[in-house]
Amino acid sequence: MNILILHGPNLNLIGSISAQIGQRITLDKINTGLRRHVRNSEINLKIMQTHKIFQAINFIQRNRNWADGMLFAPMAWAKYEYSIFETLQIADISTIQLLFSDGFGNIEKDHSIFSDICKSTISGSPDQVYIDGVNALQKLA
């Protein structure tokens, strides 16, 4: 199984956010945990973090035929980024939206424009939702 992981804007600074609420979560720790989780399995990951909409769109478009599924943490894009919305519709990749809780820029499912086009939405702590997302994509396959 081939999985795309797209980290949205400002997730490179998740360590600063987590430090403010007394946790030690960084994007590197999330990515390392993901790679460790899929080690010794038939899962391949392509991971990208960007603030730039055109880079996110290119990432989705270039990998649409490779990917069996996608995990997408839209962050601020969840409220207004219709060009990515349209790209996800056209690419037709089974996508799971990841939303964070517990002080990490809480966006609720009903406030995300992506909720209706994603297979599901997983909310929770950043260090857990990605693992839950991989597991959910495996069940969809």
- Condensed to tens digits (0 to 9), the pLDDT of residues 87-105 reads 999 999 999 999 987 544 5
pLDDT, tens digit (0-9, with 9 covering 90-100), for 53-83 = 999 999 999 999 999 999 999 998 999 999 9
Can you tell me whether residue 45 is helix, strand or coil?
Answer: strand
- Do β-strands 2-7 and 44-49 pair in parallel, antiparallel, or remain unpaired? parallel
Q: What phi, psi does 98 have (nearest 5°)?
A: -115, 120
CA 3 to chain centroid, in Å, comes to 10
Cβ-contact 99, 121 below 8 angstroms: yes
Identify the band that residue 115 occupies on the pLDDT scale cut at 50, 70 and 90.
Answer: very high
pLDDT (0 to 100) of residue 48: 98
Instruction: Return the bridge partners of 98, or none.
Output: 122
pLDDT (0 to 100) of residue 104: 46
How would you list the strands of the sheet with 95-100, edge to edge?
44-49, 2-7, 69-73, 95-100, 120-124
pLDDT (0 to 100) of residue 21: 57
Q: How many CB atoms lie within 10 A of CB 54?
A: 9
pLDDT (0 to 100) of residue 100: 84
Quote the mean pLDDT of the chain: 90
Q: What is the mean pLDDT of residues 34-38?
A: 96
Domain 2-127 classification at class level? alpha beta
Domain segments of the chain as ranges: 2-127
The pTM for the full model equals 0.90
Identify the band that residue 16 occupies on the pLDDT scale cut at 50, 70 and 90.
Answer: confident
